[in-house]
Amino acid sequence: MLDVIDLNIEFHDHITPETVVYDFDLHLDEGEIVGIVGESGSGKSMSALAIAGLLSRKKMKKRGQILFDGVDLLTCSRDTLRKYQGNDICMVFQEPMTSLNPVKRIGWQVGESLRLHTELSEDEIRNKVIKMLEDVELQDPESIYDKYPHELSGGMRQRVMIAAALICNPKVLIADEPTTALDVTVQAQIIKLLKKINKKTGTAILFISHDLSVVRKLCSRVLVMYKGRVVETGEVNEVFDFPKEEYTKRLIAAIPRMEKLEYE
């Protein structure tokens, strides 16, 4: 369904061009959950933004192909891209505080994609939104519909973001560090929710994170990125239990464990 072939991304707003992603390959089938792990500067977010079509066409040079159902998203027209964005390919970001528009009510924001991509009436949109808010396990969706983002907690806002992303029944949900800014107990709930949704609707998930333990719980396959390249990839349990690359081993060793730190 989604094939990224040989993606290279270069920054062009400084005097010397800077390559941030090298030779990135990815294959995503329907209903799969794939994780991309890496630390800051690894290029994982850039790759995700490229797939979502959110990178500027002028300041960044991209080589390679991003094939979605056969259409190359890097070279197609803006109109074609817009058809896919928010409809078949949706994204959830890290900061629930800034990804929601603070002056618009929740109901309006979640329904926005429907307004843009379908011909439904306002009433039909409202019903769908409320159903979606229920599906993301928000209590009392009717009253949340009329609330503003600042009236909700971080976890609730993230659920709203997920609702907004899923309302058009996308084929791919790209989640960029969706749990990083949340408390530990809420993180666990959001992961469970994503798993549930994937099973129920068959939406493929591309899950980006620096947190390996979370990726292990959720994903079936994983790509490990370091300084712009994919250094290792494979089934999640294999990569964790039998890492081949140095960096992967380091990353796994650095996972916080419930054990005392040794002072040499």
SS3 22: strand
Q: Determine which residue in the list 54, 97, 116, 254 makes contact with another protein, applying CB under 8 A.
A: 254
Shortest distance, position 134 Cβ to another protein, whole Å = 23
Shortest distance, position 56 Cβ to another protein, whole Å = 17
Judged by CB under 8 A, does residue 102 bind another protein? Answer: no
User: Could you say which residues in the range 64-83 bind another protein, by CB under 8 A?
Assistant: none
Shortest distance, position 157 Cβ to another protein, whole Å = 13
Strand (E) or helix (H) holding 233: strand 229-235
Q: Determine which residue in the list 105, 217, 227, 229 makes contact with another protein, applying CB under 8 A.
A: 217
**Quick count: other Cβ atoms within 10 Å of Cβ 115?**
12
Judged by CB under 8 A, does residue 154 bind another protein? Answer: yes
Judged by CB under 8 A, does residue 255 bind another protein? Answer: yes
Q: Please, what is the end-to-end C-alpha distance for the chain in angstroms? A: 51
With respect to another protein, which residue has the nearer C-beta, 72 or 211? 211
Token pair belonging to 42: 């690894």
SS3 87: coil
Could you give phi then psi for residue 173, rounded to 5 degrees?
-115, 120
State how far Cα 94 lies from the chain centre.
9
With respect to another protein, which residue has the nearer C-beta, 183 or 245? 183
Judged by CB under 8 A, does residue 1 bind another protein? Answer: no
Shortest distance, position 116 Cβ to another protein, whole Å = 29
Judged by CB under 8 A, does residue 16 bind another protein? Answer: no
Quote the CA–CA distance of 39 and 101 in Å, as a whole number.
28
DSSP secondary structure letters along 128-195: HHHHHHHHTT-S-HHHHHT--GGGS-HHHHHHHHHHHHHTT--SEEEEESTTTTS-HHHHHHHHHHHH
With respect to another protein, which residue has the nearer C-beta, 242 or 263? 263
Quote the CA–CA distance of 241 and 3 in Å, as a whole number.
27
User: Could you say which residues in the range 27-46 bind another protein, by CB under 8 A?
Assistant: 39-40
Judged by CB under 8 A, does residue 58 bind another protein? Answer: no
Judged by CB under 8 A, does residue 257 bind another protein? Answer: yes
Judged by CB under 8 A, does residue 258 bind another protein? Answer: yes
Judged by CB under 8 A, does residue 260 bind another protein? Answer: yes
Strands 33-37 vs 204-209: parallel, antiparallel or unpaired? parallel
State the residues that interact with another protein by CB under 8 A.
15, 39-40, 154, 183-185, 187-188, 210-212, 217, 250-251, 254-261, 263-264
